[in-house]
Chains A and B, each alone.
Chain A
């Protein structure tokens, strides 16, 4: 119940703000901030009450939603979703601080951010396929509006592209969801969209598993975004306002990787293993390609956007290593990318607010006028590169360790991405911060003010915290990762589908399962009559 409350609190806040007078801007802003901070503090309760020893869902609530179809309102958190959930509430609060100075339709902006927050939180807690899909699409609309209303010059193009790309992937996923729903009903006689029930009971033949994998893969790969499905991202990032970019990079992209961990791996273990080399190489291509394209960008935001393609490639690589290091690295890198890239976008936003341009060649010598800004920028940039002692290093190291065990050659190519990252980030830093400026406007820029510190410092603290002492973060997903790996381990799923190929060690287990299934069938038949 508490989890549901925390998930829907931002939505309630948005509804509340709708009734506030439009003239009273500070009241609207303070209400929104209050809701967001309360939500963040409440979400910390889950962290402190989290049971580290079990991979099972916690803080669960399951209630019937649409009885005729077996659709449940089922929410819960486990090690995979806990940190993403908290990061969502955290970044929502930061975003609200970041839009403080926006003048245009601030009331709607705050409402959109809060509705978006509920949509994203819902995605991370939904344990029912129908409900997951509802939230997955629900967050699309506020993000679309944020890009479209408060975005840059080409915002119409970017917002529609964002919407259609995501809708394309997710509608194919919908077909796969309904397909599985029908298959599960055929196999067990029970109509349900409950994810846990389906994951445990469904037995998807290998052929269809590949198709289902592809359908889910497209939905999530577009969201991550993986090369070559990334083309919407630079447009969306460049045109989105700062808060939009932060949420996009910080949370929305994570929904893609989360989807892989929550759906593709446990539901289609065979297909995952089959497709591993392809997905892995696509990720590697994304890493290198993203880095190269970043290098030649002239727009700061576009540079950060392409660096996201590269960094998210690492996360995907970690997931498809299918071992402990890889997936743990992917999970922590998810968080790291959310922190570092969000901070980068905020920093770009800070300088954009002052100069109204993001072109690298317009800048230079910023260290002289904005020394404090430059220091924070340096820290964030280094964390994005993955300097030891900072958060990026922990994630990338684990991922590369994991993928090295799976495929050493792939790991070798992926490692070059780390080097290229250093190139494009440092080169950009040099041009913006040190080189002499041609533009006299740069000489009178003001350094950070209190509001900007308030949104940047928490991120900087996290950068060092995860970099130096990641244990409080890493320990949350230990049990879940172990459980997940056992699911995709080929020795665990093969006997289940092909009983005749089962080796003696697993035969007993398999028999037990089939027995269980026939029982289910009988039960449901008698229910039906």
Chain B
């Protein structure tokens, strides 16, 4: 007999708020003309209210829906990251979309629904709910990636993303079914209990389940060797969506991974850490080596993002109190860095030509020194140079992993950072050391500029005075 689920609307408040606003956007879209500006403000309001409802929770953690949904400090911090990144993505779209002819109301609604999926994913402590979250996120993203119907690249991106994403979901489901078959439950706590009660029995199918899990999640977060889709999708998707994809969905999947591996199959010592470490190292190395060769800045950032996932996966491997908080801190700083860079990319885009080649940045510092300085700071922060936020984030993750004693892993990560400096510097070289080979036509729209300024303040504040956010992240620690 199945017990009636205990419906806890208070726990769901952020999800409900955001869904309501999603529908509001859809409906309001019917009554307005071609100009979608109003939808932007509705969406931003929705995201803001979601963040507020999430943040006003107390007496955490609260488990609900027969222990399958949890609201804890970790998920609250995640909601902040998600709403922030979605908000920044919408701000970036405000000027980008009309220019590129993306005048579709569903665009904003899909971003909001995707965010709903991310919130569910980060709060899920049940395999079924995790799958539900992942699918909500993925399906919204498939559509968003291909939202420019008349653009070949955009179509290619959507199709590629969809096909490979469907594969990944298959792997994930297969892994889940193996774990369910072995432990008899889909609840993470139940799985943990079942594994610890098992002692000594043959668990090879469970291990297989874990590995399939890693494969499935690996696809979703674009970790090597499951990263092949990401450069094409990054390149083809509209720039604000690329930035959006690089941050929120990955953060949500990583948090879900963290929960699965630490509260679910955490008892299964040793069997998932090594494969995950291999994936982490492969991600960093292939991501960085791939990025060196790129001439298109969006593809370069795709590879750089693969390498950053490698660093983040290291945090998933670490089992101590620093691990989840370093993951959150890293994701937050990464949000600022990525949106800052994409803001500048959009500013430098021209009519009809997005100006995405790295060559297009030559001589920027002569004409627009402040813009070049901002870009240089984002690049150095991505590389992890103090006193910018990227360094603090790396320091945090490295501390967590070194505390666990994985010195070799950290050494590999550090050597990778050196490689990554090479291609981040390449952009600085172009901006500062070379002469302009074209006319710049920067498009200083106030909302886009606002994103860049928020991001800049973010990386400086988190780099120089990271204390308050570290406290928040430490509060959100899972252990």
Q: Using a CB–CB distance below 8 Å, which chain A residues touch chain B?
A: 65-69, 108, 130, 133-134, 137-138, 140-141, 144-145, 148-149, 155-156, 159-160, 163-164, 167-168, 171-172, 174-175, 178-179, 181-182
* Residues of chain A contacted by B459 (CB below 8 angstroms): none
CB distance from B379 to the nearest CB of A (A): 11
- A-B contacts, 17 of them at CB < 8 A, read A66-B466, A66-B467, A134-B386, A134-B387, A137-B385, A137-B391, A144-B425, A145-B432, A156-B429, A163-B421, A164-B421, A175-B398, A175-B411, A178-B395, A179-B407, A182-B399, A182-B403
Interface string of B356-391 (1 = CB under 8 A from A): 000000000000010000000000100001110001
A175 and B407 contact, Cβ closer than 8 Å, known pairs A130-B395, A149-B433: yes
Q: How many inter-chain contacts with C-beta < 8 Å in the A-B complex? A: 77
Option from B380, B418, B471 in Cβ contact (under 8 Å) with A168: B418
A69 and B470 contacting across the interface, CB-CB below 8 Å: yes
B34 to chain A, nearest CB (A): 43
Residues of B within 8 A of A182 (CB): 399, 402-403
- Residue interface bits B441-479, CB-to-A below 8 A is 1, else 0: 000000000000000000000000011001100100000
Complex Cα distance, B423 from A163, in Å, reads 12
Q: Which residue of A lies closest to B463 (CB)?
A: A134
Contact A68 B386 (CB under 8 A): no
The 9 tightest CB contacts between A and B, nearest first, are: A134-B386, A171-B414, A148-B433, A68-B470, A168-B418, A178-B402, A66-B467, A137-B386, A134-B387
Nearest A residue to B417 via CB reads A171
Interface size classification for chain B: 20 to 34
New contact pairs (13) apart from A175-B407, A178-B399, A178-B410, CB-CB < 8 Å:
A68-B471, A68-B474, A69-B399, A108-B369, A134-B386, A140-B385, A141-B385, A145-B432, A148-B433, A156-B433, A167-B418, A171-B418, A179-B407
Q: What is the bound-complex CA distance between A234 and B255, given in angstroms? A: 48
Partner pick for B414 among A140, A163, A175, A181, CB 8 A cutoff: A175
User: A156–B425 Cα gap in the complex (Å)?
Assistant: 10
Given A149-B433, A167-B418; A67-B467 close (CB under 8 Å): yes
Chain B residues within 8 Å of A168, by CB? 415, 418
Closest Cβ neighbor of B369 among chain A residues: A108
Per the bound structure, the CA–CA distance linking A177 and B402 in Å amounts to 11
Q: Indicate if the CB atoms of B407 and A164 lie closer than 8 Å.
A: no
Which applies to chain A's interface (DSSP): helix, strand, loop or mixed?
helix
The residue that B421 contacts in the complex, of A148, A167, A179, with Cβ under 8 A, is A167
Question: In the complex the two chains form, is A138's CB within 8 Å of B398's CB?
Answer: no
Write out the residue numbers on chain B whose beta carbons fall within 8 Å of the beta carbon of A179.
402, 407
CB of B380 within 8 A of CB of A141, answer yes
Q: A68-B474, A130-B395, A175-B411 are in contact. Are A160 and B425 (CB under 8 A)?
A: yes
- The secondary structure that dominates the B interface is helix
- Asked, given contacts A69-B470, A138-B386, whether A163 binds B398 with beta carbons under 8 Å apart, the answer is no
Decide if B386 touches A164 in the complex (CB within 8 Å). no
B399-425 contacts to A (CB < 8 Å): 399, 402-403, 407, 410-411, 414-415, 417-418, 421-422, 425
**Could you tell me if B425 and A172 are in contact, using CB atoms closer than 8 angstroms?**
no
Q: How would residues 318 to 359 of chain B score, 1 for a CB under 8 Å from any chain A CB and 0 otherwise?
A: 000000000000000000000000000000000000000000
CB distance from A481 to the nearest CB of B (A): 31
Please give the distance in Å from A154's CB to the nearest CB on chain B.
11
Pick the residue among B399, B402, B403, B414 that contacts A172 (CB under 8 A). B414
Please report the C-alpha to C-alpha distance between residue A67 and residue B467 in the assembled complex, in whole angstroms: 6
Smallest Cβ distance from A153 to chain B, in angstroms? 12
Assess A174 versus B398: contact at CB under 8 Å? Given A68-B470, A155-B433, A167-B417: yes
A137 to B414, CA, bound (A): 14
Please measure, in the bound complex, the distance between the C-alpha atom of A145 and the C-alpha atom of B365, giving whole angstroms. 12
Residues of A within 8 A of B380 (CB): 141
A156: shortest Cβ distance to chain B, in Å? 6
Residues of B contacting A145 in the complex (Cβ-Cβ under 8 angstroms): 432
B426: nearest chain-A partner, CB-CB: A160
User: Could you say which residues of chain B place their CB within 8 Å of the CB of A156?
Assistant: 429, 433
CB-CB nearest in chain B for A186 = B403
Q: For the complex, what is the distance from the CA of A65 to the CA of B407, rounded to whole Å?
A: 27
Taking the closest CB of chain B, its distance from the CB of A120, in whole angstroms, is 15
Question: What is the bound-complex CA distance between A369 and B399, given in angstroms?
Answer: 62
